[in-house]
Structure 1
Amino acid sequence: MAEATAEDELRSLIRDLVRIETENPPGNERACAEYIVEWFDDRGLDADLVREPYADRPQVGLRVGEGDPTLVVNGHIDVVPAGDRSEWTHDPYGGTVEDGRLYGRGSADMKAGVAVGMAATAALAEEVESGDLDGSIVFHAAIGEETAEPGTRTLLESGYDGDYGIVLEPTQLRAATSEKGLAWYEITVAGDPSHASHPDQGTNAVLAARPVLDALAEYDERIREREDDLVGNAYATVTMVEAGTKENVVPERATITVDRRFLPAEDVDEIDAEIDALLEEVAREHGVDAAWERTRTYESAAIDVDSELATVIRRHSAAAANADTDPWGIEASTDVRNFVNDAEMEAITWGPGDLAQAHTYDEHIELTNADAGLEALVGAAGELLEADR
Structure 2
Amino acid sequence: MDSISQEDVQRLVAALVSIETENPPGNERACAEYIVDWFADRRIDADLIEEPYEDRPQVAVRIGDGDPTLVLNGHIDVVPAGDRAQWTHDPYGAAVVDGSLFGRGSADMKTGVAIGMLATARLARAIESGELRGSIVFHAAIGEETAEPGTRTLLERGYDGDYGVVLEPTGLRTATSEKGLAWYEIRVTGAPSHASRPDQGRNAVLDARPVLDALAEYDADVREREDDLVGRAYSTVTMFEAGTKENVLPEAATITVDRRFLPDEEIDEIDAEIDALLAEVESNHGVETSWRRTRTYESAEIPADSSLADVFRRHSADVDDVPAEPWGIEASTDVRNFVNDAGIEAITWGPGDITQAHTYDEHVDLEAATSGLRALLGASREILSGDAETESSRE
Please classify the TM superposition score into its range, dividing by the shorter chain length.
Answer: over 0.9
Q: Provide, for residues 104-141 of structure 1, a one-character-per-residue CA deviation record: whole Å limited to 9, x for no partner.
A: 00000000000010000001101111211110000000
Per-residue CA deviation, residues 168-223 of structure 1 (Å, 9 max, x unaligned), is 00000000000000000000000000111111111010110000000000000011
Tell me if 1:37 matches 2:27: no
| Residue of structure 2 equivalent to 1:9 | 8
Secondary structure of 1:249 counterpart:
coil
How far 1:368 moved relative to its partner? 0.9
- SS in structure 1 of the partner of residue 381 of structure 2: helix
Q: Which residue of 1 aligns with 2:392?
A: none
Does structure 1 conserve the Cα–Cα contact (< 8 Å) formed by 2:68 and 2:386?
no
C-alpha change, 1:245 and 1:383, in structure 2 (3 Å) is same
| Residue of structure 2 in register with 1:345 after alignment | 344
1:317 aligns with 2:295: no
Task: Verify the 8 A CA contact 2:183 2:293 in the aligned structure 1.
Answer: yes
Alpha-carbon distance between aligned partners in 2 of 1:148 and 1:369, rounded to the nearest angstrom: 28
Aligned-partner SS, 1:334: coil
Q: Is the 8 A contact 2:351 2:369 kept in 1?
A: yes
Q: How many angstroms apart in 1 are the aligned matches of 2:320 and 2:350?
A: 12
Distance 1:228 1:265 in 2: 9
More deviation, 333-342/122-131: 122-131
Q: How far apart are residue 388 of structure 1 and its match?
A: 5.7
Deviation at 1:6, TM superposition (A): 2.5
Cα separation, 1, equivalents of 2:87 and 2:327? 32
Please tell me the residue identity of whatever aligns with 2:189: A
Amino acid in structure 2 at the alignment position of 1:363: E
Is contact 2:4-2:370 (8 Å) kept?
Answer: no
Aligned residue runs from structure 1 range 286-301, under 5 A: 286-301=285-300
| Residue 103 of structure 1: aligned partner | 102
Residues 290-333 of structure 1: CA deviation (Å, up to 9, x unaligned): 01100000000000111111000000000011211110000000
Letter in 1 for 2:165: I
User: Residue 388 and residue 232 in structure 1: after superposition, are their counterparts in 2 closer, same or farther (change >3 A)?
Assistant: closer
Determine if contact 1:132/1:387 at 8 Å carries over to the other structure: no
For the 8 Å contact 2:71–2:163, the answer to whether it is kept is: yes
Structure 2: distance between partners of 1:344 and 1:368: 34
- Partner residue, 1:332: 331
Cross-structure match for 1:143? 142
Amino acid at match of 1:14: V
Counting matched residue pairs gives 386
Residues of 2 paired with 1:111 and 1:79: CA distance?
Answer: 9
Query: Which residue is 1:305 aligned to?
Result: 304
- For the 8 Å contact 1:191–1:203, the answer to whether it is kept is yes
Alignment of 1:38-57 (within 5 A): 38-57=37-56
Distance 1:136 1:218, change over 3 A: same
2:391 equivalent in structure 1: none
Structure 1 residue 5 displacement after superposition = 6.1
- SS of 2:44's equivalent in the other structure is coil
1:227-376 matched pairs, under 5 angstroms: 227-376=226-375
Structure 1: give runs of 5+ residues left out of the alignment: none
Change (3 A) 1:249 1:118: same
| Cα deviation, residue 353, structure 1 | 0.2
Change (3 A) 1:240 1:140: same
Report the CA distance between 1:7 and its aligned residue: 1.8
Match for residue 92 of structure 1?
A: 91
CA contact (8 A) 2:4 2:374 kept: no
SS of aligned partner of 2:175: coil
Identity across aligned pairs (percent)? Answer: 74
- 1:289 Cα deviation after fit: 0.4
Query: Which residue does 2:217 correspond to in 1?
Result: 218
Whether the 8 Å contact between 1:172 and 1:352 is mirrored in structure 2 is: yes
Q: CA RMSD in A?
A: 0.9
The 2-side partners of 1:208 and 1:377 are apart by: 54
User: Over residues 329-358 of structure 1, what are the superposed CA-to-partner deviations in whole Å (9 max), with x where a residue is unaligned?
Assistant: 000000000000001001000000000000
Distance 1:388 1:337 in 2: 26
> 1:126, 1:197 → 2: CA distance?
77
Partners of 1:56 and 1:308 lie apart in 2 by: 39
Deviations 1:138-180 (CA, angstroms, capped at 9, x unpaired): 0000000000000000000011000010000000000000000
Give the equivalent residue in structure 1 for 2:59. 60
Runs of 4+ residues deviating >2 angstroms: none
Code of the residue aligned with 1:59 in structure 2: it is: Q
CA distance in 2, matches of 1:126, 1:101: 30
- Secondary structure of the 1:209 match is helix
Deviation at 1:248? 1.2
Report the equivalent of 1:156.
155
